Structure 1
Amino acid sequence: MKQTRMAAVLTLAAALAVSAAQAGAAEPVPLLPDPDTAHQVLSETPAVQAALAAREAARARGEALDAGPYEFELDAVGQRRDVRREGDYDEWEAGISRRLRLPGKAALDRELGALGNETAELGIADAFHGAALELLDGWFGWLDAASAVAAATTARDRLAEERAAIDKRLARGDAARIDLDLAESALAGAEAALAEARTTAAESSAALGARYPTLPLPAAPPPIPDPEPPAMDAAALAAQIVARSHEIGIAEARYQQSMKRAQRGERDRRPDPALGIRTLSERGGDETAVGLTFNIPIGGRYRAAEARALAADAGAAGAELDAVRRQIVAGSRAVTARLQGSLAAWQAARRAAEAADTHAARARRGYQLGETDLFSLLAAERTAQGARRAEIAARIAAHRAVARVRVDAHQMWAYHHHGHEEDGAAADEHLHAQ
């Protein structure tokens, strides 16, 4: 009966343990802000707001280009004529005219307006991407500073335990007063390091809160899991970064605009004519007339020079496009190389921290057995604490490198240009689950 009751208790305890583990696994603490929060915060940044305003301006300019620069012009003249030996007469003259775009110019203007809208839309996406990188840097800066506080707190607590143990040994006569002095000195140093870490973390938190007022900051840094490399290899990631680069898209759109402006300038060498209707009344209405008017400027050196300048601008825009493409290719290779290096550095730092912890544990055991002096123990503790802090920093740096590549590849925190962004939502959910 007792065995049955004991088995039931053990079964219930196991079930509760499994349930607790499942509950804990069901609600993982995210390392980064969730996608919805990130998108809201990024949408509120001044850079993105400015880009949104620029889009409205581009749309208005597109409407203006579609309508054309010419409007109806009305002119009127009133006069009083004095004819000798006949008398005075009231006379007037009025007309209305409008300049007309020659065939082909209106189509080019509409294309320029469409390219302007496309450039502005890409400008929003690029501003969103730049804001995402800034948020990423600020977030990981705060995370690193907050993790430094946690590491410094652990180090301080460890030294406080050592100091308390030495104090008890001193009371029993098992330790010298110099050991207590050394422990107190080490503890004071750890408390100073903790105070400095808290100051740095407070500064980072304040700066992040000021730049992103609606961004919620957790009271404590989230757990930092082991970083996982992306599923794609470095070459594929670099290619995706280049393929999805909004900077290249903007440079291409500007190049196309310059080409269209050059075509427009060449067509403007043939001036647009103006057509109108004119009516007049003379000698008090005894004479009236209605006629058509035709006006056209005579093109000269000015129009030819403007056309050459616009053609040269198109050549400069093509060179700028090539420069931007090369810059993005170089940047994509740099961030993927940093990703690989950061992951390798973290793995090495983890091995170093494990070795330092083993050495510190042995030194602690040796001191308890009287085989090692306190100075050696504290030196081993400092080495272990530094190695643990370096491992945490390397782990955070690896996560930062992974997130940076995903942001650059528009797999995370991407502006949904034209309603969607390839793989963006899925990658956001993957990052949120980590």
Structure 2
Amino acid sequence: MKTITLTLYSALLLSTSTAVFAANYLPNPMEAQQALWKAPGVHMAQQEVSAQQQESAALRKGREEFTLGAEMARRTIETPPQEQFKEWSVNISRPLRLPYRAKADHQLGENKVNYAQANLGETVHETSRQLLSLWFEWLNQVAQVQLMEEQMQLVQSQNALVSQKVKLGDAARAEQVTMDATFAQTAAQLQQAEQGMRLTQGKLLAQFPDLTVPDYSTIQFPDPNGVQGTQAEWVKRILAHNHELHRARSETQLLNAEKNQFASRQSFDPEIGLRYGKDRAGEENVAAINLSLTLNGDARKHDTEAARIRANAARDNASLLEEKLIIEAKVNYQLAESSFAAWQQAHLAANSLQEAHRLAARAYELGEGHLNEVLLAKRNALDGLLASRQMQIQALLDQTRLQLDAHQLWSLDKQP
């Protein structure tokens, strides 16, 4: 019995030791990328890129189109001798797109596609953050189930020891009742933890159904290594790959292109046409070339000014966003460092509480302690283990989020 108890204590100590290193606590990279690109929001962003490519093609071709017309007429001459003639004509005309207008249209089309692609990149990035958040929410529940299963094994061992003491007359019947209550309480906590794990797994798979979730019993949590690199290095990496900033800058370029297009249309709109007809019942043939100019009004000036204001606002917004993202990256770096330090302290505290529990249990085995002292030490040790594991997972999450934002975790720029 002593051998079984010591083995269980060794297992608990190993569960939080610095010797455990595994990478299976994260989703498979290829599966994660495929799940991201199949997400509804990402799919919609992809379709928007395709739609903007079609609009860009339309702008390159130009929206100026041919107009066909025909006219039938009857000419009546009232003065003698009165005569009537059938007359007809056909005409074709088309607006002209001047070179500087064509250039403005081309630039607008290109910027529409660039903005849609930047928006797709930001959508993939935000979706990856959601995946990571849901995954670590599930990992928290996994950690609780794993620890409660270890507690169940420990309680079963202690329950067997108490039963043996009661049979030998070395313990009162009341201790068996207390131990039975502890067993039932631990079983209820395990059941609650399992239910929480199933719920979080359901949330994860509801949003990412193609993701493979491994058996929770195979998950091993490595010790965080701390953030490698300086704050300035991480800020530079994150900004270099930040899709939100890229989208804001693309929006500025798009609105500038719209402003340039409006400005290119402040001059006259030329239209050229050909006309052919027969007058006086075919006695006269008429062929003509016509040119018309549509003069712009104040509305086009207002449109251009509104586009200029929007472009300037987008430029200012991109600058403010860059400052905000720099602060956010610095804060995330500091969070990763502080969560690592907090885990180290919690880890030391958990080990100390486990040692106190081991000593109390050993004293009880030798008849030198009381069961209530053992159970109190066990509760304290469990609380310490849970706090240590939660801080361990939080530290892993903070470090992993930095890697994700710097594009060092998954490939987010291209569909697999």
| TM-score normalised by the chain length of structure 1 | 0.86
Contact 2:147 2:386 in 1 (8 A): yes
Contact 2:91 2:273 in 1 (8 A): yes
Deviation at 1:260, TM superposition (A): 2.1
The aligned residue for residue 125 of structure 1 is 121
- Counterpart CA distance in 2 for 1:207 and 1:158 is 32
Are 2:54 and 1:60 equivalent residues in the alignment? yes
Unaligned runs of 5+ in 2: 1-20
Unaligned runs of 5+ in 1: 1-26, 421-434
| Cα shift readout 1:12-58 (whole Å, capped 9, x = no counterpart) | xxxxxxxxxxxxxxx96622122211111111111111111111011
Residue 173 (structure 2) aligned to one of 174, 177, 183:
177
Deviation at 1:86, TM superposition (A): 4.0
Deviation at 1:160, TM superposition (A): 2.0
- Counterpart CA distance in 1 for 2:226 and 2:110 is 40
The aligned residue for residue 13 of structure 2 is none
Deviation at 1:291, TM superposition (A): 1.1
Q: How do 1:89-238 residues align onto structure 2 when only pairs under 5 Å count?
A: 89-220=85-216, 221-238=218-235
Task: Quote the RMSD (CA, aligned, Å).
Answer: 1.9
- Counterpart CA distance in 2 for 1:415 and 1:268 is 40
Are 2:281 and 1:284 equivalent residues in the alignment? yes
Q: How do 1:421-432 residues align onto structure 2 when only pairs under 5 Å count?
A: none
| Cα shift readout 1:297-338 (whole Å, capped 9, x = no counterpart) | 122221221121111111111122123223322221222121
The aligned residue for residue 369 of structure 1 is 366
Q: How do 1:22-101 residues align onto structure 2 when only pairs under 5 Å count?
A: 30-84=24-78, 85-101=81-97
- Counterpart CA distance in 1 for 2:22 and 2:338 is 28
The aligned residue for residue 313 of structure 2 is 316
| Cα shift readout 1:63-95 (whole Å, capped 9, x = no counterpart) | 111112211111222223344454443221221
- Counterpart CA distance in 1 for 2:144 and 2:107 is 55
Secondary structure at the residue paired with 2:269?
A: coil
Alignment: residue pair count: 393
Secondary structure at the residue paired with 1:344?
A: helix
- Counterpart CA distance in 2 for 1:273 and 1:69 is 14
The aligned residue for residue 299 of structure 2 is 302
Q: Which residue type is aligned with residue 40 of structure 1?
A: Q
The aligned residue for residue 6 of structure 1 is none
Are 2:246 and 1:249 equivalent residues in the alignment? yes
- Counterpart CA distance in 2 for 1:173 and 1:356 is 30
- Counterpart CA distance in 1 for 2:202 and 2:249 is 40
| Cα shift readout 1:376-420 (whole Å, capped 9, x = no counterpart) | 110000111111122111111111111100111111223235x99
| Cα shift readout 1:144-177 (whole Å, capped 9, x = no counterpart) | 1112111111112211221221111111111012
Which one is further off, 345-354 or 103-112?
Answer: 103-112
Deviation at 1:351, TM superposition (A): 0.4
Contact 1:407 1:414 in 2 (8 A): no
Deviation at 1:354, TM superposition (A): 0.7
- Counterpart CA distance in 1 for 2:317 and 2:175 is 68
Q: How do 1:350-429 residues align onto structure 2 when only pairs under 5 Å count?
A: 350-416=347-413
Contact 2:22 2:221 in 1 (8 A): no
- Counterpart CA distance in 2 for 1:272 and 1:30 is 65
- Counterpart CA distance in 2 for 1:140 and 1:297 is 63
- Counterpart CA distance in 1 for 2:109 and 2:365 is 80
| Cα shift readout 1:118-164 (whole Å, capped 9, x = no counterpart) | 22222222111111111111111111111211111111221122122
Secondary structure at the residue paired with 2:124?
A: helix
Secondary structure at the residue paired with 1:289?
A: strand
Contact 1:353 1:387 in 2 (8 A): yes
Contact 2:111 2:257 in 1 (8 A): no
Which one is further off, 260-269 or 161-170?
Answer: 260-269
The aligned residue for residue 11 of structure 2 is none
Secondary structure at the residue paired with 1:280?
A: strand
| TM-score normalised by the chain length of structure 2 | 0.90
- Counterpart CA distance in 2 for 1:163 and 1:179 is 10
| Cα shift readout 1:201-234 (whole Å, capped 9, x = no counterpart) | 0101112122211111112241111122343222
